[in-house]
Structure 1
Amino acid sequence: MKLFCQLIVLLALGCLLSACDSRKSAVNSSELPAFVAQKGNVYTITQGQTRLDINAGIGGRISSLKVDGVEMLLTADKAGNTIWGSTFWSSPQSEWSWPPIDVLDAAPYSLSVVDDRIVFTSKTDPGTGYQFIKSYGINAEKKCISIIYSIYNKSNVEKNVAGWEVTRFRPTGMTFFPQGNTESNSGIFYPLVVEHMGDITWANYRPEHILQNHHKLMTDGKEGWVAYANAGKILVKEFADVPVELIVAGEGEIELFANVEKTFWEVDQQGVMTKLAPGEHLDWEVRWHTRSLPASVPATLGSEELVNFVRGVLNGTH
């Protein structure tokens, strides 16, 4: 009888675990949009020459971005390290300090399919009351990948919050963006070396410029884009431009970060500071445009051809 009871308990536990597993994988391959392929927890979006991987098991974050077969992002290197790929945080950082909130940044997200988009949903963080949703799709007209980030306020207090996309590259390459209307600052870190040419701010990653501290730039942009170029490839992140008065205090619309260990290069942008009453949420779309650069477009500091190419990508002529 004792053995029989133990078997019943084990069977019940097995059924419960199976039910949990079925909930995690409630979307099967046949339900996925045609541009999405699945392998385990990784969902791959293919758009033209671009392959973008999203890992549902690790925060629904972007784990790989390949353009014509060339990897652009810093990818995972060892177990336990979560500083890689492209993730999403809430701003201001002062609300949660460091490290990032695991349930939002690195814990598994559930998956669903809504209106030809794959949607990844976090659990609710009990500390901040935030729940994140990341929705990925294709914008065929713009020839880009559309990402819609949502922050839900599940707390019982009003929140002032903005979305914050955090994209990490290997310690190489160059980033640039149209400079906005505020001075740059570095917060508690060393200033990042940049150059201003015309209306564009340029930052070339140079390890010899990284001293005995992390380096950071926080500033206002304009036109609603920031670009990263390396190895003949370019990623342009497009988003709604943020008025200066709606940038989160102590933060920047554009943020660049280089760590003192010289292991990664971070290119971020933040959205509009939004007041969320309990139960309300914000949506923020970011579009990722990728290209292989033509031989006629030099990827060099101050290149007018490169800036014109980016603007052409955004207005649909490239």
Structure 2
Amino acid sequence: MTSLRAILSIIAVSLLIVSCGGGETGSEATEAIPAGPITLTGGPVSITVDPANGARITSYKYQDKEVLNQDQGNNGLMFGSTVWTGPQEDWGWPPPAAFDTKPYNVVKVRDNVYLFTSEVDPESELRLEKRVQMTEAGEVGLRYAVINESNKNVRVGAWENTRLPYGGRFEFPIGDTAWSKVDPLPLVIKDSTAVIFLDEQNTEPAKVYASLRDTAVRYVHEGLIFTKQTMITGKNQVAEGQAPLEIYFDPENGFSEYELHGGVYTLQPAQRAVMRVKWTLRKE
């Protein structure tokens, strides 16, 4: 029977907390496994994580139908789902290799639950943990922890970036603000729901920033609905210059980005900022 703790880790989606200490306790991390792509399956849904490639989520499928972008682009990185730290102005571009591309240590916590731990980024002196859990029903629980390994206070939050194909549409309960550097704003609003269509009307890259009225954001494409749930909704909860939801699209290069920010906190040494997100994938 699923434990209460396991249920709460899935239901308490995207709640950002700050707590002292390092990673998982030794009593939970029970089985070390060799590096290599790891696939978790629940019902018709599967998710694959590659510890050797920044613990990137490289595949997310309903039966045999892939929802994530698989075209790696010119730099070999514009695919799957990754995690960085916010605000972006702290590191510019590219993202810190310790988080985005370098190998992670991996530990099997129990069946369908894995913990991935990065190196310490030498510039920020931060470390990243990713905990991935799949339920029997096919719901994915993701917990990201940014850990301050320095001897000074650091203001930081987690940032999930999921690359998708260019196509379909995003739907989200828009909050009190949305903005972009392009005019007009590339979205339509119907009954308090904002919709961004990834179609031929868009000819140039653009990014939309938005606060949220509710916690569920949907991506609909080729008969599948990919939903993320987060409890961070307000612009004032995330890092300066960022938003709870960010959607980037690049028609020419054929991909889009489905981004959520966790809360931003001032971490003392050894403290962590934790972000929880729930993913579901089903037929339209």
Tell me the amino acid that sits aligned with residue 210 of structure 2.
T
Deviation string, structure 1 residues 67-92 (Cα, Å, up to 9, x no partner): 12111110154785111101001110
CA deviations on 1:89-119 (whole Å, 9 max, x unpaired) are 1110000001111111011111112255201
Change (3 A) 1:193 1:41: same
Larger radius of gyration: 1
Residue of structure 1 in register with 2:199 after alignment: 206
The CA distance in 2 between the partners of 1:77 and 1:181, in whole Å, is 35
Matched residue of 1:161: which SS? strand
Q: Which of the residues 148, 155, 169 maps onto 1:160?
A: 155
Give the aligned CA root-mean-square deviation in angstroms: 2.0
In the aligned structure 1, how far is the partner of 2:245 from the partner of 2:180?
A: 12
Q: Is the 8 A contact 1:215 1:260 kept in 2?
A: no
1:226 aligns with 2:217: yes
- Percent identity between the aligned chains? 26
SS in 2 for 1:287: strand
Residue number in structure 2 paired with 1:93: 88
Q: 8 Å contact 2:235–2:242 — kept in the other structure? A: no
Distance 1:242 1:162, change over 3 A: farther
- Rounded to whole Å, the distance in 1 between the matches of 2:83 and 2:203 is 25
Residue 279 (structure 1) aligned with residue 255 (structure 2): no
Greater helix percent: which structure?
Answer: 1
* Contact 1:103 1:123 (C-alpha < 8 Å) held by counterparts: yes
Which one of 117, 126, 130 corresponds to residue 126 of structure 2? 130
Q: Which amino acid aligns with 1:222?
A: R
Counterparts of 1:130 and 1:118 in 2: how far apart (Å)?
21
In the alignment, is residue 106 of structure 1 matched against residue 97 of structure 2? Answer: no
Q: Which residue pairs with 1:217 in the alignment?
A: 208
SS in 1 for 2:179: coil
Higher relative contact order, chain-length normalized (CA < 8 Å, sep 6+): 2
Q: Distance in 2 between matches of 1:78 and 1:176?
A: 26
Unpaired runs of 5+ residues, structure 2, are 1-30
Q: Residues 216 and 120 from structure 1, CA distance in 2 versus in 1: closer, same or farther, beyond 3 angstroms?
A: same
CA distance in 2, matches of 1:239, 1:115: 25
One-letter amino acid of the structure 2 residue matched with residue 253 of structure 1: P
TM superposition shift of 1:259: 2.4
Matches within 5 A, 1:260-279: 261-279=252-270
Following superposition, the deviation at residue 163 of structure 1 comes to 1.2
* 2:144 aligned residue (149, 167, 177): 149
Q: Contact (CA 8 Å) 1:207, 1:262: kept in 2 or not?
A: no
In structure 2, how many angstroms separate the alpha carbons of the residues matched to 1:163 and 1:125?
14
2:45–2:138 CA contact under 8 A, matched in 1: no
* Aligned equivalents of 2:68, 2:239: Cα separation in 1: 27
* Residue 245 of structure 1, aligned match among 216, 236, 240: 236
TM-score (norm 2): 0.83
Whether the 8 Å CA contact 2:212–2:234 is kept in 1: the answer is: no
Contact 2:109 2:115 in 1 (8 A): yes
Instruction: Give unmatched runs, 5+ long, in structure 1.
Output: 1-25, 30-39, 294-318
Between the aligned partners of 1:261 and 1:173, the Cα distance in structure 2 is 15
> Where is the strand percentage greater, Structure 1 or Structure 2?
2
**Residues 23-102 of structure 1: pairs in structure 2 closer than 5 A:** 27-28=32-33, 41-77=36-72, 80-102=75-97
CA-to-aligned-CA distance 1:157-214 (integer Å, 9 cap, x gap) = 21221211101111111111101122x2225x67651111111110010244123xx3
SS at 2:98 equivalent: helix
Query: What number of residue pairs does the alignment pair up?
Result: 253
Tell me the amino acid that sits aligned with residue 132 of structure 1.
L
**Normalising by structure 1, what TM-score?**
0.74
Mapped partners of 1:191, 1:153: distance in 2? 40
